[in-house]
Chains A and B, each alone.
Chain A
Amino acid sequence: MEIKDVENLANLSRIELSEEEKQEILKDMKGILEYVKVVEGVQVEDTKPEYNLRNVWRDDEIIPREFSHELITEQFPASQDGFLKVKKIL
């Protein structure tokens, strides 16, 4: 891993990092990746990854739930006419 990899990851994660922070994270990441690398040596015979997935169904009924419209909308950082306001995307 190099500094440009850290920059790429920060970019993908949408986190701004200072030069100093990049250096520090690079050092930490190297140490952690070195440690977690032992999984490469995991000894398993015929073990498949098990994701324990199952479908959870319910009847398509309307069940009223208590939600506070006011609590939700008053936390919008920016709003207009009761709608959430964000910057232009395209």
Chain B
Amino acid sequence: MIDIAKLTIAEARKKLDAKEFSAVDLAQAYLDEIKKKNKELNAYLEIFDDVLEQAKEVDARIAKGESYPLLGIPMAIKDVILIKGRRVSAASKILENYRATYDATVITKLKKQGAVFLGRTNMDEFAMGGSTENSAFGPTRNPHDTRRVSGGSSGGSVAAVASNMALGALGSDTGGSVREPASFCGIVGMKPTYGRVSRYGLIAMGSSLDCIGSIAKNTEDAKIIYDAIYGHDILDSTSIEDTTYAKPQIKKVIGVPWDLVNMEGVDVKVKENFKQSISKLENLGFKINDISIKNIDMALATYYIIMPAESSTNLSRFDGMRYGLHKDGKDLLEDYRLTKRAGFGKEVRRRILLGTYVLSSGYYDAYYGKAQIARSALKEEFAKAFKDVDIVATPTAPFVAWKIGEKSDPLSVYLADIFTITANMVGIPAISIPSGFSEVEGKKLPLGIQFMAPHGAEDLLFEVGKKFETVL
């Protein structure tokens, strides 16, 4: 029996190489767990039917003496990343039966290492949401309390790893979609610098914000996945080089924007837990600076202008003509209207209309133009802050996972992104690490701390994350 509850990617690697168990044994252990749990949690939309064949091929590679960090590691892939020949739907009816015609670059890289793909995971439709409640195929439940949301939009990937239905996973993060669910489910989620990981083969949402991130049980594993997928890619013109950003000087100082952390709407227990985490970091030898980032309170509003503008543009390609759902009307225009109506869910329609509005003539300057200026100002503010500190720390989310169906007003859900969106707006890397629990109605619900680092300084996040894990 393989004890998958305690297994990490790093340990599995050693045991696979030492032939303590085979890749087939390992894959089978995960398939068994999926069989037990997925029906209730709804983390996977599809379990691939060739998992054991993939694992057999890996065993042949191991027998030949090959070894890569992810060779034989069972992984879950968010339903927004293309794997050639397999279905990929962005959890939307409009792409329900779509089959990917090529591999995303991250998939090519994982295949080269020999990761085993278990299945594609549930998410908010087109990654629009923070709870996976916007999936066209039902919400993903939180393994810590199944009445509650897993967080989102990468809720399926995160819930799969948190409930031992996968050893690691890929997600996408446009405003916190890897970090917020990681916080809600008590695991590690990491978003790299904008452009660090190729997005070729990622279904686009907000193109100036989208990143592919790694999801794992601990920081070391998150780094192993990140190391496997990053790098310049000629197929993604926003891709950066290793040398794009200079390495920052280490000062051992962590900045905390207390104004933001202490504002209204942040749960008291979240604040308490965060303060404890900060004392732990002080004990580890970090100096803590109170920093003030001007206009950070506007970041969320800015985000909810820029992101819908970009996603409404990106989603206009789903017209029912070349692939995906097609509804037939009396003419071409009616085909479009009926297809989009049947294919897109409520939140997606809302964001398309909102994006169309802020980009329309007469409103463009007041909304989109202003938002771009606010975004530039925020970037400058962060550049200033990073002159004195290595890391900016905040809670990952302002509250614990909410109950499914509890939040009906879209704005109240948007507020969940308050701490995470800044990293996307500025383009810097950020990680969420478990920081403890908050007991609610007899259940221990996970909390997370977020670290943000300057552009290109992912390694700094992993370093601080690993240290923080030792005092948890």
Residues of A within 8 A of B (CB): 1, 5-6, 9-10, 12-17, 21, 25, 28-29, 31-33, 35-44, 47-52, 56, 58, 65-68, 71-72, 75-78, 84, 86-89
Contact = CB atoms under 8 A, between A and B. Distances in A.
A25 B357 CA distance: 12
A66 B360 CA distance: 39
Contacts of B380: 47
A44 B374 contact: yes
Contacts of B161: none
B450 interface: no
Nearest to A84: B322
Interface string B269-295: 000000000000000000000000011
User: Which of B302, B357, B380: most chain A CB closer than 10 A?
Assistant: B357
A31 B410 contact: yes
A40 B354 CA distance: 17
Contacts of B332: 86-89
Contacts of B372: 49-51
B357 A29 contact: yes
Contact of B411 (A32, A68, A71): A32
B294 A43 contact: yes
B435 interface: no
B304 A28 contact: no
Contacts, number: 155
Contacts of A78: 326
B319 interface: yes
User: Which of A6, A10, A68, A77: most chain B CB closer than 10 A?
Assistant: A77
A11 B377 CA distance: 35
B332 to A, nearest CB: 4
B356 A12 contact: yes
Interface in B327-360: 331-333, 335-338, 340-341, 344, 349-350, 352-354, 356-358, 360
Interface in B152-206: none
B409 interface: yes
Nearest to B344: A15
Nearest to B321: A86
A88 B334 CA distance: 12
Contacts of A17: 341, 349
A14 B333 contact: yes
A39 B371 contact: yes
B335 A48 contact: no
Contact of B377 (A21, A47, A56, A75): A47
Interface string B68-104: 0000000000000000110000000000001111110
Nearest to A14: B336
A31 B409 contact: yes
A84 B321 contact: yes
Given A9-B357, A84-B321, A40 B101 contact: no
Contacts of B99: 71, 75
